[in-house]
């Protein structure tokens, strides 16, 4: 049982350090005041109803929001934590905590003893060691504050993996996934939300795509959010420009928003700022309305929804797609669903779905997290090892497969990355025009005047001025940005490494097969020997695959009926 500390008496006096020490001591003994430190500042936890509204983000009602403490909030807590008095003619009289003391606590001190806050969650989660965080309150091991929004059953010690898989697939039995990779990516998205703070690294985005409206993209995003957080997703739309993206991302990071649905997308989605957010441990920018820079960890999981969306500006390699296709002209006319009101079904069963997901993850960790034997997803190695590995081990398929150009990430590579397609066309056009000859930028532009294929490729790659004309200057920018990148077995190389060369000359080289790489570049450059494609290090070596568990047998559903009422 927690005892309530007695409130100390603090005499207001002109002693900056001593009075601030007394005030901090009073605050620190009151855990009920819920003060935490995060990103070199003091914060509190509020709910969406009391948090500042933002026009570009629709937050779910009642969800937790992390807010920075301001002077007024500190003064309120100081008044609750102590009796404040000042000297009077006949002894001491009641007083208010001085405003300068609150400012000194917020800005004058560089460190505090308040607990560090990583995130606020409302659903049990799994720690990196495989243990389940299911006790409400602050968790010292992770820095996560757990405020449950439901009564969750204890995760059973022995829940067969087949039962857990059947439970997670049951709500989406009517979702028209185009292939196994897409249904596996749905499970991966749910597991990513529930295990986000066990992943020591970055997580990819999950675009839900369909060729037609009303296919169920938003509904599936809602199902993922309901299972993973217990609430509908926070929803936003495409920002107007990169500057607005920076401001939005800082706001999302400061608030600790667990899930964002980027809704109603169309055409090509491209943003350098958004792409950077997927591989940024924290986000820094100038605070709106202030002159100081602030930072906050960025643990948000992104779900993107749109019709036939494609990706540009390095976003493609950060995506694990969930593709659905009802294969009908008017999907809104579909009937005979197993669960006509799917959100209601998920809300009714979500605590058991959470238990099933956590049991699946724990089973995988206890099994030693066997390697899936495939090339890892570059920049997302920790996610790859835990989430992708778990999904493959459970027999659900590979959510991040690149082997099939018609499915999953392979489809994004072959169809979806506009930047990659434009660059591949340019390299092919240059190879056709110059073969293995050296050429200058101006020479490429001159030859393009009589080569329609090369001219179009330069235009599509962005080698144009503000009037839309192909120029040597713009072409030079494109060549430098494309230098040494391998696409379609070709790469553009420069002689700039030769210090004696007066002008930069270019050449198209055939190369080996490319795999995923980190942010430094999409591929690693192999040494070409002229004897065909060469593996890059050991990235193309396929290790023996870990044996997958068998899929759930039909009778597994009956045991779920008995256990959970599913």
> How far is the C-alpha of 173 from the C-alpha of 342, rounded, in Å?
10
SS3 of 81, please? helix
What is the CB neighbour count within 10 angstroms for residue 68? 17
How many angstroms separate the Cα of 337 from the Cα of each of 167, 171, 347, 350, 561?
17, 11, 17, 19, 19
**Separation of CA 376 from chain center:** 17
Query: Does residue 533 fall inside a structural domain?
Result: no
DSSP single-letter state for residue 172 = G
Give the pLDDT score at 13. 94
Helix (H) / strand (E) element for 349: namely helix 342-366
Indicate if 89 and 171 belong to the same structural domain. no
Q: 510, 538, 553 — which closes off a domain?
A: 510
Indicate if 176 and 109 belong to the same structural domain. no
DSSP single-letter state for residue 434 = H
Name the nearest CA neighbour of 437 among 525, 528, 505, 531.
505
Query: Does residue 39 fall inside a structural domain?
Result: yes
pLDDT tens for each residue of the chain, 566 residues long: 445 568 999 999 999 999 999 999 999 888 777 899 998 899 999 999 888 888 999 999 999 999 999 999 999 999 999 999 999 988 899 999 999 999 999 998 888 999 999 999 999 999 999 999 999 999 999 999 999 999 999 999 889 999 999 999 999 999 999 999 999 999 999 999 999 999 999 999 999 999 999 999 999 999 999 999 999 999 999 999 999 999 999 999 999 999 999 999 988 898 999 999 999 999 999 877 666 788 999 999 999 999 988 888 689 899 999 999 999 999 999 999 999 999 999 999 999 999 999 999 999 999 999 999 999 999 999 999 999 999 999 999 999 998 888 777 887 877 656 677 789 999 999 999 999 899 999 999 999 999 999 999 999 999 999 888 999 999 999 999 889 888 889 999 987 655 565 678 999 999 864 444 444 333 333 333 333 333 323 222 223 333 333 333 333 444 444 444 44
> How far is the C-alpha of 232 from the C-alpha of 254, rounded, in Å?
20
Strand duo 119-121 + 144-146: pairing: parallel
Give the pLDDT score at 397. 95
Name the nearest CA neighbour of 476 among 462, 486, 466, 488.
462
Name the nearest CA neighbour of 189 among 211, 212, 214, 171.
171
How many structural domains is the chain composed of? 3
421: β partners? none
Query: Does residue 141 fall inside a structural domain?
Result: no
Q: 459, 487, 510 — which closes off a domain?
A: 510
Query: Does residue 527 fall inside a structural domain?
Result: no
Residue carrying structure tokens 């590979």: 398
Indicate if 350 and 307 belong to the same structural domain. yes
Indicate if 396 and 338 belong to the same structural domain. yes
Do 331 and 199 touch, CB atoms closer than 8 A?
no
Give the pLDDT score at 498. 53
Indicate if 53 and 176 belong to the same structural domain. no
508: β partners? 492
Give the pLDDT score at 552. 38
How many angstroms separate the Cα of 283 from the Cα of each of 1, 111, 251, 273, 445?
39, 20, 9, 10, 40
Give the pLDDT score at 549. 36
Indicate if 479 and 398 belong to the same structural domain. no
SS3 of 516, please? coil
> How far is the C-alpha of 207 from the C-alpha of 454, rounded, in Å?
33
Indicate if 303 and 179 belong to the same structural domain. yes
Query: Does residue 537 fall inside a structural domain?
Result: no
Residue 394 tokens read as 């459970």
Do 373 and 542 touch, CB atoms closer than 8 A?
yes
Give the pLDDT score at 5. 65
Give the pLDDT score at 495. 77
pTM of the model: 0.80
SS3 of 113, please? coil
Indicate if 105 and 70 belong to the same structural domain. yes
Indicate if 102 and 52 belong to the same structural domain. yes
Indicate if 381 and 454 belong to the same structural domain. no
Do 295 and 39 touch, CB atoms closer than 8 A?
yes
Do 308 and 265 touch, CB atoms closer than 8 A?
no
Whole domain around residue 18: which residue ranges?
A: 9-117
Query: Does residue 136 fall inside a structural domain?
Result: no
Indicate if 310 and 448 belong to the same structural domain. no
Give 559's contacts (C-beta < 8 A, 6+ positions apart).
Answer: 163
> How far is the C-alpha of 450 from the C-alpha of 333, rounded, in Å?
53
> How far is the C-alpha of 263 from the C-alpha of 248, rounded, in Å?
15
> How far is the C-alpha of 41 from the C-alpha of 117, rounded, in Å?
10
> How far is the C-alpha of 339 from the C-alpha of 100, rounded, in Å?
59
Residue 475 tokens read as 């072409």
Cα torsion through 204, 207, 208, 210, rounded to 10: -140
93: β partners? 86
CATH number, domain at 364? 3.40.50.300
Q: 83, 117, 151 — which closes off a domain?
A: 117
Query: Does residue 308 fall inside a structural domain?
Result: yes
Indicate if 312 and 423 belong to the same structural domain. no
Give the pLDDT score at 126. 96
Query: Does residue 142 fall inside a structural domain?
Result: no
Give the pLDDT score at 531. 32
| Residue ranges in 210-280 assigned as alpha helix (H) | 217-229, 242-255, 272-277
């Amino acid at each position: 049982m927690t005892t309530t500390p007695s409130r100390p008496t603090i005499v207001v006096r002109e002693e900056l350090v001593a009075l601030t020490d007394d005030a901090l001591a009073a605050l620190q003994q009151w855990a009920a005041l819920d003060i935490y430190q995060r990103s070199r500042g003091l914060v509190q936890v509020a709910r969406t109803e009391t948090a500042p509204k933002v026009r570009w983000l629709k937050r779910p009602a009642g969800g937790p929001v992390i807010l920075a403490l301001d002077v007024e909030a500190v003064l309120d807590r100081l008044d609750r934590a102590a009796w404040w008095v000042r000297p009077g003619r006949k002894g001491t009289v009641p007083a208010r905590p001085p405003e300068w003391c609150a400012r000194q606590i917020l800005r004058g001190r560089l460190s505090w003893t308040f607990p560090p806050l990583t995130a606020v969650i409302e659903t049990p989660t799994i720690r990196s060691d495989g243990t389940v965080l299911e006790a409400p309150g602050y968790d010292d091991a992770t820095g996560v504050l757990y405020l449950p929004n439901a009564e969750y059953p204890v995760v059973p010690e022995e829940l067969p993996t087949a039962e857990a898989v059947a439970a997670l697939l049951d709500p989406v039995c009517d979702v028209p996934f185009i292939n196994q990779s897409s249904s596996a990516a749905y499970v991966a998205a749910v597991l990513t939300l529930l295990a986000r703070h066990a992943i020591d690294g970055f997580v990819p985005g999950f675009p839900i795509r369909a060729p037609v409206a009303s296919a169920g993209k938003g509904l599936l995003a809602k199902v993922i959010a309901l299972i993973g957080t217990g609430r509908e997703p926070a929803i936003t739309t495409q920002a107007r420009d990169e500057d607005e993206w920076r401001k939005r991302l800082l706001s999302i990071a400061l608030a600790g928003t667990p899930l964002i649905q980027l809704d109603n997308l169309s055409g090509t989605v491209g943003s350098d700022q958004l792409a950077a957010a997927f591989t940024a441990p924290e986000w820094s920018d100038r605070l709106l309305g202030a002159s100081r820079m602030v930072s906050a960890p960025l643990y948000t999981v992104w779900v993107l929804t749109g019709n036939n969306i494609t990706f540009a500006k390095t976003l493609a390699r950060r995506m694990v797609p969930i593709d659905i296709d009802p294969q009908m002209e008017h999907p809104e006319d579909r009937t005979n669903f197993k669960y006509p009101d799917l959100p209601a079904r998920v809300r009714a069963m979500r605590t058991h779905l959470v238990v099933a997901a956590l049991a699946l993850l724990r089973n995988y960790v206890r099994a030693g997290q066997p390697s899936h034997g495939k090339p890892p997803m570059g920049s997302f190695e920790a996610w790859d090892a835990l989430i992708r590995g778990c999904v493959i081990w459970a027999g659900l398929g590979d959510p991040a497969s690149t082997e099939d150009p018609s499915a999953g990430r392979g489809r994004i590579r072959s169809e979806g990355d506009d930047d990659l397609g434009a660059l591949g066309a340019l390299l092919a056009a240059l190879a056709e025009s110059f073969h293995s000859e050296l050429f200058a930028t101006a020479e490429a532009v001159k030859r393009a005047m009589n080569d329609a294929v090369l001219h179009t490729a330069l235009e599509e790659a962005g080698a144009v001025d503000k009037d839309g004309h192909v120029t040597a200057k713009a072409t030079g920018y494109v060549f430098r940005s494309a230098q040494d990148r391998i696409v379609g077995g070709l790469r553009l190389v420069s002689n700039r490494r030769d210090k004696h060369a007066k002008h930069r000359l270019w050449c198209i080289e055939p190369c080996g097969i490319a795999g995923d790489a980190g942010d430094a570049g999409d591929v690693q450059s192999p040494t070409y020997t002229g004897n065909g494609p060469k593996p890059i290090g050991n990235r193309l070596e396929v290790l023996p695959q870990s044996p997958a568990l068998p899929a759930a047998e039909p009778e597994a559903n009956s045991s779920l009926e008995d256990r959970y009422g599913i």
